[in-house]
Structure 1
Amino acid sequence: MSKKRKYNEAYISFGFTFIAERDGTQKPQCFLCGKVLANGSMKPTKLKEHLTSVHPENASDSVDIFRAKKARFEKAGTLPKLGFAPTQKPCLEASYKVAYRIAKQKKPHTIEETLAKPCALEMVELVCGLEQRKKIAAVPLSNDVIHSRIADISSNILEQVIEELATTPFPFSMQLDETTDVSQCSQLLVFVRYMHADAIKEEFLFCEPLLETTKASDILEMVNSFFAKQNFDWKKNLGTLCTDGAPAMLGNTSGFAALVKKEAPQVIVTHCFLHRHALASKILPAILKEVLSTGVKVVNFIRARAVNHRVFKRFCQEMGAEYEVLLYHTEVRWLSRGQILKCLIELRAEVSLLFERKRKPTLRTV
């Protein structure tokens, strides 16, 4: 856990006072511009850097001058709980809107501090003038601020979803999927579907890592723990449950679905339709399976080698084809194989030409 820094009265010489959060954490606040910094910035070097870079005209002021400015700042009522003056509410709203866009675009939290805000300051200064630039500079957009804003937005959305689940007139549906990411970390994803305001809503509920085993009991414990924190009886209000075909999910005696039905017999368990299609593809008639397998071999021959992929793309450009690349397929999403075959048929002339050049007679007749 990082060290929580405390305010020192000597920091007034840098133009800073402090605000305290609910957990007691102190954050430095500049009483010259009202900007609130992270607790980690509670250092003389960082406070002085803010003073010299943002307020160079006040860098040589005496302590008495700073005390007078602080008194005026406090007298104006600019030290509420969150550290934002009423005149700075647009800055607070702007900070949340920027954080929302960063989260929506899946960008790093530092992009605003290192790229977006400097660009905005330069544009405002050139177009609107130096005074307007100072107003934009007061918008808090540091890495820690963006992180806290995104956490606030996420918590608020979750509260809304839980409230809607509690007030829905009909039982809700829940879908679970356990998957492993590129770092070999097992993740449990949960989605819900429910009726709200005469409309069916689908919302992402939560994603949590399974740190050790991925047994049905582990999944059930994680789901119970999540809803317990939200003070919500999910088994009482659950109507249908959709899972994939993994034994930990659909085991007859010890699977997650079986454990849920023991405590909530009214729950209807269904199978994920994507996995149903994946299972259906394994029992295709021989003639259809041969066509599908050959099509996959063709796509893999072209896409698995960078040279073949570049040559094929060049053929498509020269022949004026509608597409320039072939699609990969996945074992789970069987529906994508239909798109693969459709694309392959439309580019069969280009594929045949490439195989003639590569001398692949076994695949030339596709």
Structure 2
Amino acid sequence: MTTVNKKRKYEEENRCFRSEWEESFAFIEYNGKSLCLICKDTIANYKISNLRRHYETTHPQFSIQYPPSSKLRKEKLMSLKNCLQKQQGLLASCSNEDIRKIEASFIISWNIAREKRPYVEGEFIKNNLVDVINILEPTNEKLLKLITQIPTSRRTTERRISIINKSIENTLKYDLNNCTAFSIALDESTDIQDIPQLAIFVRCGSEEVHIKEELLDLVALRETTRGIDIKNAFNMVLNNFHLPIDKLVSVATDGAPAMTGKNQGLIGLLKSDPKIPKFVPIHCIIHREHIISKYLKFENVWNIVLKVIHFIRVNAKTHRQFKNFLEELKEDGDKSPNDISFYCIVRWLSVYNVLNRFNELLTPICIFLKEQGRQCLELEDKNWLQDFSFLTDTMQHLHTLNLALQGKEKTNVMNLSF
């Protein structure tokens, strides 16, 4: 029986580049290949027959002009190597400049996205940078050239923001899959186009007790905002982000029936879902604060305050007279307020600002009302003033609490004094 000799593969030959090939065939090793110093062509393998064929076929005159083993040949090969190194250094420098320009483009796009500015403002920012450099460093032409070459078009900015968004999303997915526990907060509201939007926030903690919180998703609901609609949107987000549902520890919502309903609300539906583990339902503290500010009005105080404010602010002439009156009372260096605040029922957190400003201007207000022929006896009643001071102090504590809750990674809420 005849045996068939198996042909050996090139990878199994373990060939390596030999230094004498540089002198013989003007080849050097470059990135795992044989590079010809004369024409810059590359040969994928280290076979002497391939190198000799290329040298004798493509450069037959080289050995005549530069005889082998001669000093002239060595100097020519050294010159070719130095030229190649300079070209590689130039390419590396250009590559680093391109990287810096792309990085600058990403920074501009990131700031545009963070400030919710139009994408076309990238060109506006670049033009401003050019003008600033022309003033501060007019002789730095290299920096000026780099800035003008930063890609900041609208489509480029859009692509950069999409890449940043994808990167943040992937990082968030990784953190959620590797966290020890996470909690969810949901808030449903309607935008200016009457479309209900469900904002879902997540807070997760690692084994090193590093807390991280992010906006997980913003889901547009269809027509209704029932508990089942919110739960369906919540399940969709869970599937999209592949959340480890067994690590869920709490769900925070507002006090709406669609959220907290025992049977048809979101909390009730989540508790009845066998796939959802046991969790702690939490009523959002900001919504509870809103309820306090809404119902803790002290109508005997608040009605008088609004009545006075409306008298001063509703009529333009009266408002101008009041502002001029305050200017006349001011002395040099006096930093007292120069106007009274207008109350807006939508901005419920402005209650403290209104009461505090009214308290600071209480004496001028009393004098101005008397000059206008308006009597407001409550402003001089001690019992009413006590109730007014109590309401102002209470709203001040709520205002302080709200400021402490603003921002990210607030983990010391329980240390606040109520």
Q: Same fold (TM over 0.5)?
A: yes
2:155 paired with 1:144: yes
In 2: Cα distance, 1:308 partner to 1:194 partner: 54
Distance verdict in 2 for CA 1:112–1:301, change over 3 Å: farther
Task: Identify the match of residue 220 of structure 2 among 196, 204, 209.
Answer: 209
Structure-1 residue corresponding to 2:75: none
In 2: Cα distance, 1:330 partner to 1:239 partner: 38
Q: Which runs of 5+ in 2 are unaligned?
A: 1-86, 381-418
Preserved CA contact (<8 Å) 1:194 1:202? yes
Distance verdict in 2 for CA 1:92–1:305, change over 3 Å: farther
Equivalent residue of 1:365, what SS? helix
Distance verdict in 2 for CA 1:338–1:94, change over 3 Å: same
Preserved CA contact (<8 Å) 1:356 1:364? no
Equivalent residue of 2:379, what SS? coil
Equivalent residue of 2:214, what SS? strand
Structure-1 residue corresponding to 2:129: 120
1:216 is aligned with what amino acid?
G
2:144 is aligned with what amino acid?
R
Deviation at 1:112, TM superposition (A): 1.8
Equivalent residue runs for 1:151-170 within 5 Å? 151-169=162-180
TM score, norm. by length of structure 2 = 0.58
What value does the CA root-mean-square deviation take over the aligned residues?
3.3
Preserved CA contact (<8 Å) 1:177 1:244? yes
Structure-1 residue corresponding to 2:255: 245
In 2: Cα distance, 1:258 partner to 1:110 partner: 46
2:275 paired with 1:266: no
Deviation at 1:95, TM superposition (A): 0.5
Preserved CA contact (<8 Å) 1:278 1:332? no
In 1: Cα distance, 2:203 partner to 2:345 partner: 26
In 2: Cα distance, 1:104 partner to 1:276 partner: 29
1:272 is aligned with what amino acid?
C
Task: Identify the match of residue 375 of structure 2 among 357, 361, 364.
Answer: 361
Q: Percent identical across equivalent pairs?
A: 30
Structure-2 residue corresponding to 1:194: 204
Deviates more, 1:220-229 or 1:316-325: 316-325
2:173 is aligned with what amino acid?
I
Preserved CA contact (<8 Å) 1:176 1:188? yes
In 2: Cα distance, 1:248 partner to 1:155 partner: 32
In 2: Cα distance, 1:290 partner to 1:153 partner: 54
Equivalent residue runs for 1:59-98 within 5 Å? 85-98=95-108
Q: Output one character per residue of 1:183-218: Cα deviation in whole Å (capped at 9) or x when no partner.
A: 323221122223244233332222232242222222
2:191 paired with 1:177: no
1:147 is aligned with what amino acid?
E
Structure-1 residue corresponding to 2:289: 277
Distance verdict in 2 for CA 1:219–1:297, change over 3 Å: farther
Deviation at 1:323, TM superposition (A): 2.7
Structure-1 residue corresponding to 2:360: 346
Distance verdict in 2 for CA 1:282–1:87, change over 3 Å: closer
Preserved CA contact (<8 Å) 2:173 2:242? no
Deviates more, 1:138-147 or 1:259-268: 259-268
Distance verdict in 2 for CA 1:238–1:311, change over 3 Å: farther
Preserved CA contact (<8 Å) 1:355 1:363? no
More contact order relative to length (CA 8 Å, sep ≥ 6): 1
In 1: Cα distance, 2:217 partner to 2:339 partner: 36
Distance verdict in 2 for CA 1:130–1:183, change over 3 Å: same
Structure-1 residue corresponding to 2:22: none
Deviation at 1:161, TM superposition (A): 2.4
Equivalent residue of 1:174, what SS? strand
In 2: Cα distance, 1:218 partner to 1:276 partner: 24
Structure-2 residue corresponding to 1:324: 338
